[in-house]
Chain A
Amino acid sequence: MSVAQSTSAGPVAGEIGTPRVREGCALVTGASRGIGAAIACALAADGWPVAVNYRADEQAAGEIVQRIAARDGRALAVCADVTEPEQIGRLFETSERELGRVLVLVNNAGVRRDDLSLSLSDADWDQVIDTNLSAAFRATRHALRGMIRERFGRVINIASVVGPRANAGQANYAAAKAGLIAMTKTVAVEVARRGVTVNAIAPGLIETDMTADLDGELLGAVPARRAGSPQDVAACARFLASEQAGYVTGTTLYVDGGLSA
């Protein structure tokens, strides 16, 4: 596991959100680009030291760390494949050793392997379920141990409008994201009285590398008539991580330009 850390410390002056008041850190999986990168930057703006998890793109993760450091934030790039259970353990170990107890966990790492169900392979089914759902559960289970002892925690699962809503060619992705929303609700009620909230964000069509190949048919169905940005999603994550969101738990916040309305 390789680690790169920014040298700056101290909070970034944020325009919105609430400055961090807890000693601890935020861990964002799949944070080297897209929605995960935007969330990492947004949480850093509230003063959270941020563990920027990545699987392969060390350079991109390093750039996010430097971007946060340039605004006087503190961040650490941590390489880990979240589909490997033992690597999740090391991811937490490294993050907590360098930045403090993980009090905000954002399960963002995800992949797509689209195909019609008739021809969808077992390998593509398994990879999407492993990455988008099973890894999120394992990371959540790990994080809850510390959060429960701290009597504070924020778990934010990045789901999707696909799952609650059908999208042909994404049976694996839809099953994983719908499962993530179901998991969110159940874990939320298990730990609510310990001051730990568990919520999901369901982005619609967001402009990222992951959605670059989607055709315009989906965009035509968006009432806002435009795609969202990673920052739109990050703003919601910033709210859900805040002290003010302490009574918001077990819910799914749709960021989709009205697609699911």
Chain B
Amino acid sequence: MSTTVTEDQIEQLVIESLQTFGADPDEISRDATFEALDIDSLDLAELSQIVHESYGVELKGSDVADVKTVDDAIRLIAERV
């Protein structure tokens, strides 16, 4: 992971994005599942786009297919940045 991007920054980006997609802020935690947050495949596609715009990292559909929780997403992004 790049020294210029911290996991806390990634977490903040993910949480802000999920709120933009309509997830209940009170329900968002690292253990929360996207299913529980009512986050669907289009939301994850848009999150991938935001990550690309923010960090230049490209996440394909197959990359996020196994992402089930907020923590999964943060870890995946942290591995790629």
Residue B42 CB within 8 A of the other chain = yes
A residues 135-183 near B (Cβ < 8 Å) are: 145, 148-149
Residue B49 CB within 8 A of the other chain = yes
List chain A residues, Cβ under 8 A from B42.
148, 190-191, 193-194
- Contacts A/B (CB < 8 Å), 9 sampled: A145-B49, A148-B42, A148-B46, A148-B49, A149-B49, A190-B42, A191-B42, A193-B42, A194-B42
List chain A residues, Cβ under 8 A from B49.
145, 148-149
1/0 per residue, CB under 8 A from A, across B30-68: the answer is 000000000000100010010000000000000000000
Report the number of A-B residue pairs with Cβ-Cβ less than 8 Å.
10
- How many angstroms from the CA of A191 to the CA of B45 in the assembled complex? 11
1/0 per residue, CB under 8 A from B, across A52-90: the answer is 000000000000000000000000000000000000000
List chain A residues, Cβ under 8 A from B46.
148-149
List chain B residues, Cβ under 8 A from A149.
46, 49
List chain B residues, Cβ under 8 A from A191.
42
- How many angstroms from the CA of A194 to the CA of B42 in the assembled complex? 9
Q: Which chain B residue has the least Cβ–Cβ distance from A192?
A: B42
List chain B residues, Cβ under 8 A from A145.
49
Counting from the closest, the 9 A-B pairs by CB-CB distance are A148-B46, A145-B49, A190-B42, A191-B42, A194-B42, A149-B49, A149-B46, A193-B42, A148-B49
- How many angstroms from the CA of A25 to the CA of B67 in the assembled complex? 35
- How many angstroms from the CA of A149 to the CA of B49 in the assembled complex? 9
- How many angstroms from the CA of A149 to the CA of B15 in the assembled complex? 16
Min CB–CB distance B50 → chain A (angstroms): 8
- How many angstroms from the CA of A24 to the CA of B49 in the assembled complex? 20
- How many angstroms from the CA of A149 to the CA of B46 in the assembled complex? 8
Q: Which chain A residue has the least Cβ–Cβ distance from B40?
A: A193
- How many angstroms from the CA of A190 to the CA of B42 in the assembled complex? 7
Q: Which chain B residue has the least Cβ–Cβ distance from A146?
A: B49
